[in-house]
Chain A
Amino acid sequence: DAGVTQSPTHLIKTRGQQVTLRCSPKSGHDTVSWYQQALGQGPQFIFQYYEEEERQRGNFPDRFSGHQFPNYSSELNVNALLLGDSALYLCASSLEGGSGNTIYFGEGSWLTVV
């Protein structure tokens, strides 16, 4: 049973560029959330997707956008990268309507903006 998988694992971008991160949820899960974790801090919620729509959004600018595909996989896009966007980006998946569902995380994508 595959867990949450993310790609790429590591990447380096230049300030002003755009980046796309990808996530495949755990088998059987239909809800995907994205989190940003800066060094030495706890993860911060970016947004959540369910049924291909953004259902919840945290306090992040519009430069952060996402998408969920019919197979439940998801992408996170960040435009006009800033140095402060350097962080670990974590994808989490869960099952809507599950009895107190558990939220599982992938290993994350380490983004460095130079």
Chain B
Amino acid sequence: AQKVTQAQTEISVVEKEDVTLDCVYETRDTTYYLFWYKQPPSGELVFLIRRNSFDEQNEISGRYSWNFQKSTSSFNFTITASQVVDSAVYFCALSEEASSGSARQLTFGSGTQLTVLP
């Protein structure tokens, strides 16, 4: 069975600080996808990034960066120079890969509530 653990329930930082959100996953599949989503109070899950299991190249996108390490089953997310607008709940999710190459059902972690104070 698949499992995603986000051990940090809540994180509070002051604006302009860097913050890292942790994600550890469990799966027996050799190919899978990992996702990060942001959920503001409105409820919509906003897609941030998808990573394939065979692609361990880390990525930077503006103030966001991701560190994927298969050896430790971790897919951590860092926000550099945080802003008040980054305040939201962040979810890490895992999906198996179907034979067609498509993602299947997502297994979510319990989320991390990030609060950025001015």
Residues of A participating in the B interface, judged by any CB pair closer than 8 Å = 31, 33, 35, 41-45, 48, 56, 58, 88, 90, 92, 94-108, 110
**Distance of B30 from chain A, by nearest CB (Å):** 15
In contact, A105 and B107 (Cβ under 8 angstroms): no
Interchain CB contact (< 8 A) of B101 among A48, A58, A97:
A97
From B47, B91, B105, A102 is in contact (CB under 8 Å) with B47
Q: 23 A-B pairs, CB-CB below 8 angstroms?
A: A33-B105, A41-B111, A42-B93, A42-B108, A45-B106, A56-B104, A58-B105, A90-B43, A95-B102, A96-B102, A97-B100, A98-B102, A99-B101, A100-B52, A101-B102, A103-B35, A103-B103, A103-B106, A105-B47, A107-B42, A107-B43, A107-B44, A110-B43
**Nearest CB in chain B: distance from A66 CB, A:** 14
Contact B33 A41 (CB under 8 A): no
Contact, CB under 8 Å: B43 / A88: yes
In the complex, the answer to whether B45 meets A90 with C-beta atoms within 8 Å is yes
Which range contains the number of B residues in contact with the other chain?
Answer: 20 to 34
Nearest to A44 among chain B residues (CB) is B108
CB-CB under 8 A for A41 and B110, given A102-B47, A105-B37, A105-B44? yes
B50, CB-defined interface residue at 8 Å: yes
Contact of B106 with A43 in the complex, beta carbons under 8 Å: yes
A94, B45: Cβ atoms closer than 8 Å: no
The 8 Å CB contact of B50, one of A44, A97, A100, is A100
CB distance from B88 to the nearest CB of A (A): 14
A100 CB contact (under 8 Å) in B42, B101, B107: B101
Q: Among the listed B44, B45, B46, B103, which residue makes an inter-chain contact with A101, where contact means beta carbons less than 8 Å apart?
A: B103
Q: Are A42 and B102 in contact (CB under 8 A)?
A: no
B110 contacts A42, CB within 8 Å?
Answer: yes
Of residues 73 through 94 on chain B, the ones whose CB sits less than 8 Å from some CB of chain A are 91, 93
Closest residue of chain A to B6, judged by CB? A42
